[in-house]
Amino acid sequence: MDATRDSTQVSSARLVGVELDEASISRSTPDIEHERAVAIYDLIEDNVFEPAGAPEGPYRLRLSLVEKRLVFAVSSDAGEELVTHILSLTPLRKVVKDYFLICESYFEAIKSATPSQIEAIDMGRRGVHNDGSRILMERLEGKIRVDMTTARRLFTLVCALHWKG
């Protein structure tokens, strides 16, 4: 999956392209595919992304899983490789597992639950998503500066990659 935006419309500390490594993901349910596409689109539209020590952006990001590690490969808008950060997935494993469980409950609830039940499950889902986003921000600290909105969208993509793993 690749999403791109005209770099003349954006500031320099941001992403203008995001790609999920196709070898790291597999086709999934329509709901998961939709979440991936929306997360990439939203991420391109509004983000704060500034790799420490990298030249001025904007940037492109390729996310992948390699040997159970999360790889952030950052390049310039022109495609020049700038920096690669490899993060252990261990700190994220439990929250990703919890997020998948609550997402399954949410998608099942949509089919037959009352609006108040769906809302309660969705509130829990957002809480777990926020927890994962905070962990991701902590793991990126000193490597890539992101705001909470960007971290939330990146966490969704991390989950998309982790779906296969």
- Specify the pairing of strand 15-20 against strand 59-66: parallel
Longest dimension (CA), the chain: 51
What local confidence, expressed as pLDDT, does residue 3 receive? 47
Quote the mean pLDDT of the chain. Answer: 87
Count CB-CB contacts under 10 A for residue 53. 8
Proportion of the chain in helix, strand, coil states, percent, rounded to 5: 50, 25, 25
Distance, CA of 135 to CA of 162 (rounded, Å): 15
Mean pLDDT, residues 91-100: 92
pLDDT band at 34 (very low <50, low <70, confident <90, very high): confident
Residue (of 60, 52, 51) closest to 10 by Cα position? 60
pLDDT of residue 40: 92
Residue 39 predicted with pLDDT over 90: no
Residue 162 confidence (pLDDT): 67
Q: Where are the domains of the chain?
A: 2-162
- 110-149 burial, b at 16+ Cβ within 10 Å, e below that, comes to eeeeeeeebeebeeebeebbebbbebbbebbeeebebeee
pTM for the whole structure: 0.84
Average pLDDT value for residue range 17-38: 78
